[in-house]
Amino acid sequence: MILPERAAPLAPAPPKTDVLARVREVVARELRPLAARIDAEGLYPSHILSQLGAAGAFAQHHEGFGESGTVDLGLAIQAMSVIAETCLATAFCTWCQDAFGWYLQNSENAGLRARLQADAASGAVLGGTGLSNPMKALSGIEPMKLKGKRVDRGYRVDGVLPWVSNLETGHYFAFCFDAGGSAITAIGRLGFNGIENRNSAEFIALEGTATRAVGFRKAFVPDEMVLSDALPRFARRIKPGFVLLQTGMAVGLIRNCAELMRELPPRTRVVNTYLPIGPETLEESLDALEREIATLAATPFEGDEAYSIRLLQARLQGSTLALDATQALMLHAGASSYLRNSVYSRRLRESYFVAIVTPATKHLRKDMAMIGARRS
Ligand SMILES: Cc1cc2nc3c(=O)[nH]c(=O)nc-3n(C[C@H](O)[C@H](O)[C@H](O)COP(=O)(O)OP(=O)(O)OC[C@H]3O[C@@H](n4cnc5c(N)ncnc54)[C@H](O)[C@@H]3O)c2cc1C
């Protein structure tokens, strides 16, 4: 008699950890020990970004690549906030990667999506976004910095973008140029086809973000790399996600300020109760803000003006609260916050970035005023 082969014992099911737990694990193991060096030495944490990508941090707002398989901006924002609790430079690189992926998710160019979207979602390819300039151009703040001319099977583009982050040679990034009559959004690759690395400035924080000036010298942009040939239409589609994703930076930073206040020595905490902003007040405001962000993130394609006002307000509240939180943290920590390289002063320096990155505070206020004027 031939005995049936014994079935191999079933392998134990892998522990079911969700994306936030996985991101938290990478942050604790890899990012926390390096956060001070990323700030002080401008170390660009590309190996950590790859691990965050593998954990799913960049995939949640991509259809077909995240936990739920659907576009879940809320989860992408939460993942970014976990990173921002520890390091804003890495959280901003996460935003750059997320925005780069968001443009692919919303592109009309199916071939480009097929070529790059999966790798953008997994972090196998790292990318950035140079769309501050067109966002400001759409709001009437500054002219388009890149000019393009139609040539056979593409465009020739000239000009300089003063800052594009998460960008090393070989990385991809989005940019937009004026082609006389229409504004074209496309993806290029640093170091290829006439797209050159130029010297960038030194910053008071966010040095570890691989931020570069990018020169276009008769750069050839083939039609296959065009995301959209109509900026206003494309911007309407991407703007809610572009703006909302940035709130992940503010949320994580504010949450960490409350935590750091609570970790101060008990004797300091007693007298700190006399300060106007403490951890409880911060968390109360943060809860309300996170609820509003989650509501807005559930309908990121809603285009009416009431939605736009709420979107801009949520982004503004995030940066205002981040500034308030880090200033309050300095007062709570006292002299220890004034030591060179203290975590408290790093958080303060970082918070100004949330308020000046496009759309900066003045830009948000201008957009809100323009919508207000149209509605009155
Ligand atoms: C660390 C850092 C990283 C950034 N990363 C990105 C990115 O990845 N993608 C992106 O599109 N934008 C990036 N920016 C730009 C950012 O989003 C804002 O556009 C910028 O901070 C200026 O915004 P503003 O509206 O306050 O303009 P303002 O500061 O009022 O400036 C007005 C104009 O002058 C230019 N300008 C001001 N100072 C300089 C300078 N020293 N050299 C050259 N031009 C200058 C500005 O770019 C702008 O066009 C980055 C900025 C910083 C500081």
Task: Please tell me the distance between residue 305's alpha carbon and the centre of ligand 1 in angstroms.
Answer: 27
Residues ≥6 apart with Cβ < 8 Å to 139: 359, 363, 366, 367, 370
Q: By the 8 A CB rule, do 198 and 163 touch?
A: no
Please provide the average confidence, as pLDDT, over all residues in the chain: 94
Lowest mean per-residue pLDDT among 22-31, 63-72, 319-328: 63-72
Q: Percent of the chain, pLDDT > 70?
A: 95
Tokens read off for 106: 């919303």
pLDDT at residue 8 above 70?
no
pLDDT score for 4: 38
pLDDT score for 326: 98
pLDDT score for 303: 77
pLDDT score for 126: 98
Q: Percent of the chain, pLDDT > 90?
A: 92
pLDDT digits (tens, 9 = 90+) for 216-237: 999 999 999 999 999 999 999 9
pLDDT digits (tens, 9 = 90+) for 172-223: 999 999 999 899 999 999 999 999 999 778 999 999 999 999 999 999 999 9
Looking from the CA of residue 96, the nearest atom of ligand 1 is 8
Residues ≥6 apart with Cβ < 8 Å to 255: 81, 85, 283, 286
Mean pLDDT, range 5-21, rounded to an integer: 58
Q: Determine if ligand 1 sits within 6 Å of the CB of residue 343.
A: no
pLDDT digits (tens, 9 = 90+) for 240-260: 999 999 999 999 999 999 999
Q: Determine if ligand 1 sits within 6 Å of the CB of residue 358.
A: yes
Q: How confident is the model at residue 17 (pLDDT cuts 50, 70, 90)?
A: low
Looking from the CA of residue 363, the nearest atom of ligand 1 is 25
pLDDT at residue 16 above 80?
no
In this structure, the residue with its CA closest to atom 32 of ligand 1 is 142
Task: Please tell me the distance between residue 223's alpha carbon and the centre of ligand 1 in angstroms.
Answer: 28
Task: Please tell me the distance between residue 360's alpha carbon and the centre of ligand 1 in angstroms.
Answer: 10
In this structure, the residue with its CA closest to atom 44 of ligand 1 is 162
pLDDT digits (tens, 9 = 90+) for 274-330: 999 999 999 999 999 999 999 999 987 777 999 999 999 999 999 999 999 999 999
Cα(291)–Cα(294) distance, integer angstroms: 5
In this structure, the residue with its CA closest to atom 38 of ligand 1 is 162
pLDDT digits (tens, 9 = 90+) for 78-102: 999 999 999 999 999 999 999 999 9
Query: What is the β-pairing status of strands 154-164 and 147-151?
Result: antiparallel
pLDDT at residue 76 above 90?
yes
Mean pLDDT, range 269-278, rounded to an integer: 96
Q: Is 303 exposed, middle or buried (0-12, 13-18, 19+ CB in 10 A)?
A: exposed
Length of the chain, please?
Answer: 376
The pTM is what? 0.94
The CATH number, out of the four listed (1.10.3720.10, 2.40.50.140, 3.30.70.580, 2.40.110.10), of the domain defined by the range 128-228: 2.40.110.10
- Higher model confidence: residue 72 or residue 376? 72
Per the listing, tokens 């940035």 go with 246
Q: How confident is the model at residue 334 (pLDDT cuts 50, 70, 90)?
A: very high
87, 163, 199, best to mutate for ligand 1 pocket (most atoms within 8 Å of CB):
163
Task: Please tell me the distance between residue 190's alpha carbon and the centre of ligand 1 in angstroms.
Answer: 19
160-163 long-range contacts, CB within 8 A, separation 24+: 160/198, 160/213, 160/214, 160/215, 160/216, 161/130, 161/133, 161/213, 161/214, 161/216, 162/200, 162/213, 163/130, 163/132, 163/200, 163/201, 163/211, 163/212, 163/213
pLDDT digits (tens, 9 = 90+) for 42-60: 999 999 999 999 999 999 9
Per the listing, tokens 């707002």 go with 61
Q: By the 8 A CB rule, do 92 and 249 touch?
A: yes
In this structure, the residue with its CA closest to atom 39 of ligand 1 is 162
Q: Determine if ligand 1 sits within 6 Å of the CB of residue 145.
A: no
CATH fold for domain 231-375: Butyryl-CoA Dehydrogenase, subunit A; domain 3 (1.20.140)
pLDDT score for 2: 38
Per domain, the residue ranges of the chain are: 19-126, 128-228, 231-375
Q: Identify the CATH number of the domain defined by range 19-126.
A: 1.10.540.10
Looking from the CA of residue 135, the nearest atom of ligand 1 is 11
In this structure, the residue with its CA closest to atom 46 of ligand 1 is 162
